[in-house]
A = this chain, B = another copy of it.
Amino acid sequence: MDEHRDITLAKKHIYRMTPQRKVILEEVRKMNNHPSADEIYEAVRKKLPRISLGTVYRNLEILSEQGEIQKLELTDSVNRYDWDTRKHYHIRCVRCGRVDNAPIAPMQQLENELYGATVFTILGHRLEFIGLCPECSKKLSCLKNNPPDK
């Protein structure tokens, strides 16, 4: 919705390092599965049981603004977060939502191909692969052999 913020840049904030923010960052750095805000909330709660979900959202936003983590906005209803801030692509399981890194190098040149061919000023691109994780592949091939209602 409010994608304006980063562009019409408001006044600079001086961020403080709070225990909450510190724990959130530590937990995200431990998680290799591209967790959602809710999954991070659950992990952080084990360290700080009184933390609120709103705090987790706010800090994830700040941390990605600061470049400490990366916010992944995939074609999914939930956003995910990545400790790895380097540009890389992902593959998402269409059935369970699992997200893995896609072992393919970023292709900056894709944007060049568009240059001059569009009236837009190109700022970037987003590439996401869609697929089935091994577990879901298995479940579905079973289902195919034994259909739900004959």
Contact = CB atoms under 8 A, between A and B. Distances in A.
B103 A91 contact: no
Given A7-B94, A149-B11, A121 B137 contact: yes
Interface in A1-53: 1, 3-4, 7-8, 10-11
Interface string A106-134: 00001101100111111111111111111
Interface residues of A, number: 46
A119 B100 CA distance: 9
A120 B104 contact: no
A85 interface: no
B8 A143 contact: yes
A126 B125 contact: no
B113 A104 contact: yes
Given A130-B125, A148-B8, A91 B75 contact: no
A55 B94 CA distance: 26
Contacts of A91: 114, 118, 120, 122
A89 B73 CA distance: 17
